[in-house]
Structure 1
Amino acid sequence: MDFSRLQNLQYELNSTNATAANLPSTLLELVVPGYSTISQLAFRLLGIDIGVIVTGWALIFGCHAAWRYLYDLVQGYFDEYYTSSIQVHDDDGLFDDVKAWLSEQQNRKSSRKLKAVTDYDDNKKDDNVQDEQGIYKYEVPMPRYELSYGTDDFFFHNGRRFKVVRSSVKDEAGSYMRETLEIYCYARTAEPVKDVLTHIRQWKINRETAMTSVYRALSNGSRYWSRQSCRPSRPLQTVSLDQQQKDDIVEDINEYLRPATARWYAARGIPHRRGYLFHGPPGTGKTSLSFALAGVFGLEVYCVSLNDKDLTESDLCMLFNDLPDRCIVLLEDIDSAGLKREEEPVLVEMPEGGNADPGSSKDAKTATNKTDSSTGSISLSALLNVIDGAASHEGHVLIMTTNTPGQLDAALIRPGRVDLQVAFTFATQDQIHEIFKRMYSQTPEEQTSGGRLSNSKPRPVSKIPDSKTLEGMARKFAQQFPADTFSPAEIQGYLLMRKKNPQKALNDLEKWRDEILVSKKNGKRLVGAQ
């Protein structure tokens, strides 16, 4: 029998196996110079075949890559067809509520990628941080941890798993960065996410007192609203104004904000707008009432400064168009904006005989520059067009404040633009009486803690009398003021310097009152100024 052909076949098989075994080594030699030498040394000294290890690692890597590809494919399919999500932008009041709630979830678990921010919440600080002399030592705020940008995180609510992504992208115009939180869940509808947002909103209401968000117009290539602060809502009873006036304003705004009122306006072809003018001396509570009304009705406050030199008419129109359906638009000190009609010329008084004085042109130029420096770039006609023009925004509450109503143009305060004028006056004796009582009356929290705040020690300097004695002191305090001379802000500022000792406020009153009266009589702004 001829075995030569069988030997040749065996030789060919051995050659093929050797080539296959040398294939990884050949490839590695191309990638890693000197690999064959290293492999031989490792085999002779350690008895390890590096080629087998590399082949096994390549097999594991290939399986992992294939599994990751299949996982991403299936995950993408479910995200596309079986996932619902809701976005919350940073210009909405719900954004901070969601962040605060998520930060509490982060504190309950260990996450690998977080963003640290300083927590300035005064409710979490200890009032008892003081030295031996009783001097309060300001407690350094502790950090709070939030979800980082561009990362995914998961949380559970009512047994369901949610994913949240925090991102920061430019707006459509590319002028400023907009921060977004997007919450996902595996569901064919967004109802589970809506339930989470409802839960967060209720959590916020139960956790803190009512807050008022304040927005101001900023510029970053284009004008946009930016939330500047979120302050506790001011109680309406803390505003020094005649009670009947406050009741009339609240009743009027309450009727205006009802959905049925908007339908009533539309049925009769009347624009659904409401404007108010608060006028009176400085420090009488015009701005305070605006914020108190925002707290009463749960509205956000949008402040616009017409003195801004860079604010154009198109910017003003854009800002008003971006207002929410229900809010308070506050135009403070409308008289200081120097609004004039576009056709008003600048008149220069000429001397008799028709010949101008050689320095008159210089004086006229100086007067013109003075006028330009005291006014913004918004004309009266532009403001009127924004307030009640053909394309003006409806549904908001417009409040304008001024110290000198006589300087306002009649067209600005005509009915339809200003529907209710509220006069603020210097403090009456009844208002002074209420300010004194409000300053020294204890809150329910202070009464239950025995005159303490939170966990602090009793205040040794606090001398708050009982309600009957306090009533008598308030009456005596108010009787020592002349009527319609002092503003509520002046009264409050005086009492704040003695906020823990009403008897001292009575003892020091005569000297302080006389000094203020002398300064007012002499036209001095500083007390004791010569």
Structure 2
Amino acid sequence: MASTLLNWIIGLGLGMGPLGSVMHSPYVYDSLRLLVLGSIVEFGRRFMYWAMERFKIRFSMTATFREGDQAYEWLMLLLTEERVWEKSRDFQVAARSSQRKWGINSTLAPPMGPGFPELPFPTGGDGGQILGNAEYVPQYGAPHLFKYKGYWFEINRTQGETTFGPYGRQSTGGGMSLTVYSLRMSTLTELVESARLLYTESSKPRVTIHESAAQYGGADWSRVITKYRRPLESLILEEETKAMLLADAQEFLESGNWYVDKGIPHRRGYLLYGPPGTGKSSTIYTLAGELGLEIYTLSLSANMLNDGSLKQIVAGVPSHSILLIEDIDCAFPSREDEEEEMMTKNQMMMNPYLLPPPKSAITLSGLLNVIDGWLTTLITEEGRIFFCTTNHVDRLDPALLRPGRIDVKVEYKAASQNQARDLFTSFFTETSSSNPGTSSSPSSPSSEKAESSESTSKSSSPSESVQDYALRFSETIPQHEFTVAELQGYLLLHKKDAQSAVDNAEEWVSEQNKEREERKRVEKEKKEE
């Protein structure tokens, strides 16, 4: 075909006088030949591209998944379990961390402790076992074709872009498009539902925490971390408070139909307030694990967050989840903050090169509207739970605390003597994995006997058990003076010797009191200045 077309062109040239002699030149002939061949190849390429696009339009469907949405997480887990990414040849290797990275070994996990099953090690593309503490995250540079339940799917993923602006590093979330080579809508819905069920089942041993990430126009939920579930028994809190919170939340989640029948919005708001280190955040993470809910945690002091972007990001929180706003009082200035702001203005007048500190752009009315709009959605089966924490409940506006926004208020105090006893008992009660520095490999009977006798000599003497030590320790700790975090920090210094922890507790209390008095004196002198 190419030769026929070329001869026709030369025939035209022969009838053009001087141009005909040029056409007989071998250089011109070869150049024209290459030109015609290239044109034919390019035409064929474009025609094939056009035909494939027409085929896709007529015989396929395309669905888009946006990063930061829960459906995106469902599909990524399914693709990981189906080992779609293992065919990639371009990886980014990063150290394993609690932040979720969908790589070929993203399910690799250490043992979770007694009472939890060990997760298997996945295998690589060649069938070999992947070991170590690294995540092999594919770069998704090319489309991937895979077969699922008899149908062919094509996956294309776009990476988010990271830029640096006046508010620091900002990112635009990526996305993913899934092409289904089928005309049956049920093929797509079955895959999405299978992905959701797989995600729900695989998330049971863990608590999934979605954190807001700043980007242009506000923020999204693209930053995801996972933590292993914490048993309720390990939460050092008064038993009455634990039982009340768990029972209230369970009863609320099971009463969706009742709320709808009565025409009442199916929502519940909780406020946990008290000094830092008393276990407010730990309570929420533990409850989320017990209830099987995911947490969406939001910081009101984040850059590029205002009333409009706050409404947008909260609207993306799905039902049957927990919206958590920690330190909610930080968004609104207190009297001390106003004094500090006045001092900052004075310093800036003296030094024009001094940059002003970042300030929250969220207003109280904007926050109240967002909470009302998110909580008052009528849901037939799945409700919405709102948690907020604060160290200074007196700074909160009464409008925020009214019933309908905050239904349950729980005060957290410094540790009671009962909590001190429970914390000590949990530290020194021997379990199969509680000995720091011990290996999980099998040991001989003689070594086990030696370890047992050493543990007995350090943890408890023949005349005293761990419970006796715990009682003595709790009697040394003043009631409601030290937080659980402070007591835990002290016990960590003596984690291998229960008797030492008891014997030195009184001296530690005395030292802490002296340090507190010194801090009070310094703060008083600063105020007087």
Asked if TM exceeds 0.5, the reply is yes
2:175 alignment counterpart = 180
2:155 alignment counterpart = 164
- Output the CA distance in 1 between the equivalents of 2:306 and 2:109: 44
1:136 alignment counterpart = none
Note if contact 2:273-2:391 (Cα within 8 Å) is conserved in structure 1.
yes
- Picking from 293, 298, 306, the partner of 1:299 is 293
- Output the CA distance in 2 between the equivalents of 1:363 and 1:430: 44
- Output the CA distance in 1 between the equivalents of 2:292 and 2:298: 20
SS of equivalent to 1:505? helix
Residues 192 and 273 of structure 1: is their aligned pair in 2 closer, same or farther, counting only changes over 3 Å?
Answer: same
**Aligned: 1:88 with 2:88:** no
Partner amino acid for 1:399? F
Note if contact 1:215-1:226 (Cα within 8 Å) is conserved in structure 2.
yes
Alignment of 1:95-174 (within 5 A): 95-96=72-73, 98-99=75-76, 102=79, 110-111=87-88, 114-120=90-96, 142=134, 144-146=136-138, 148-149=140-141, 151-168=142-159
- Output the CA distance in 1 between the equivalents of 2:149 and 2:319: 33
- Picking from 396, 404, 414, the partner of 2:392 is 404
> TM-score, normalization: structure 1?
0.68
For residues 263-310 of structure 1, give each alpha carbon's deviation from its aligned partner in whole angstroms, at most 9, with x where no partner exists.
Answer: 433443433332111122221111221222222223332333344586
Superposed displacement of residue 94, structure 1: 4.8
Alignment of 1:389-428 (within 5 A): 395-428=383-416
Partner amino acid for 2:425? K
1:505 alignment counterpart = 501
SS of equivalent to 2:157? strand
For residues 20-61 of structure 1, give each alpha carbon's deviation from its aligned partner in whole angstroms, at most 9, with x where no partner exists.
Answer: 6966999xxx9xx9994669xxxxxxxxxx96x996996798
Partner amino acid for 1:152? P
Between 496-505 and 454-463, the greater mean CA deviation after superposition: 454-463
Alignment of 1:348-387 (within 5 A): 376-387=360-371
- Picking from 212, 217, 222, the partner of 1:221 is 217
Superposed displacement of residue 79, structure 1: 1.8
Note if contact 1:275-1:419 (Cα within 8 Å) is conserved in structure 2.
yes
Note if contact 2:173-2:222 (Cα within 8 Å) is conserved in structure 1.
no
1:516 alignment counterpart = 512
- Output the CA distance in 1 between the equivalents of 2:316 and 2:521: 41
- Output the CA distance in 2 between the equivalents of 1:376 and 1:196: 42
2:473 alignment counterpart = 477
- Output the CA distance in 2 between the equivalents of 1:330 and 1:18: 73
> TM-score, normalization: structure 2?
0.68
- Output the CA distance in 2 between the equivalents of 1:415 and 1:428: 29
SS of equivalent to 2:173? strand
Note if contact 2:59-2:182 (Cα within 8 Å) is conserved in structure 1.
yes
- Output the CA distance in 2 between the equivalents of 1:365 and 1:86: 52
1:130 alignment counterpart = none
- Output the CA distance in 2 between the equivalents of 1:145 and 1:484: 48
Residues 191 and 252 of structure 1: is their aligned pair in 2 closer, same or farther, counting only changes over 3 Å?
Answer: same
Superposed displacement of residue 153, structure 1: 0.9
For residues 366-401 of structure 1, give each alpha carbon's deviation from its aligned partner in whole angstroms, at most 9, with x where no partner exists.
Answer: 69x9xx989744443443333337996665322222
**Aligned: 1:279 with 2:273:** yes
- Mark the runs of 5 or more structure 1 residues left unpaired by the alignment: 1-15, 40-49, 128-138, 348-361
2:324 alignment counterpart = 330
Note if contact 2:210-2:221 (Cα within 8 Å) is conserved in structure 1.
no
Superposed displacement of residue 434, structure 1: 2.0
Select the structure of larger CA radius of gyration.
Answer: 1
Partner amino acid for 1:182? S
Partner amino acid for 1:482? P
For residues 47-106 of structure 1, give each alpha carbon's deviation from its aligned partner in whole angstroms, at most 9, with x where no partner exists.
Answer: xxx96x9969967984x6676566545533442233234433211245356445545666
Note if contact 1:103-1:147 (Cα within 8 Å) is conserved in structure 2.
no
2:426 alignment counterpart = 438
Superposed displacement of residue 420, structure 1: 1.0
- Picking from 210, 213, 226, the partner of 1:230 is 226
SS of equivalent to 2:398? coil
- Output the CA distance in 1 between the equivalents of 2:179 and 2:240: 50
1:312 alignment counterpart = 306
Partner amino acid for 2:240? Q
SS of equivalent to 1:187? coil
- Output the CA distance in 2 between the equivalents of 1:288 and 1:453: 28
- Output the CA distance in 2 between the equivalents of 1:17 and 1:518: 100
Alignment of 1:19-30 (within 5 A): none
- Output the CA distance in 2 between the equivalents of 1:511 and 1:17: 101
Note if contact 1:212-1:233 (Cα within 8 Å) is conserved in structure 2.
no
- Of all paired residues, the percent bearing the same amino acid is 28
- Output the CA distance in 1 between the equivalents of 2:392 and 2:451: 42
Partner amino acid for 1:144? Y
2:315 alignment counterpart = 321
How many residues align structurally?
A: 454
Residues 487 and 301 of structure 1: is their aligned pair in 2 closer, same or farther, counting only changes over 3 Å?
Answer: same
Partner amino acid for 1:300? E
For residues 412-469 of structure 1, give each alpha carbon's deviation from its aligned partner in whole angstroms, at most 9, with x where no partner exists.
Answer: 322222211112122122222222232344556679x995348999999996558994
- Picking from 236, 240, 244, the partner of 1:240 is 236
- Output the CA distance in 2 between the equivalents of 1:481 and 1:443: 26
SS of equivalent to 2:226? strand
SS of equivalent to 2:511? helix
- Output the CA distance in 1 between the equivalents of 2:509 and 2:451: 24
Residues 126 and 327 of structure 1: is their aligned pair in 2 closer, same or farther, counting only changes over 3 Å?
Answer: closer
Partner amino acid for 2:140? S
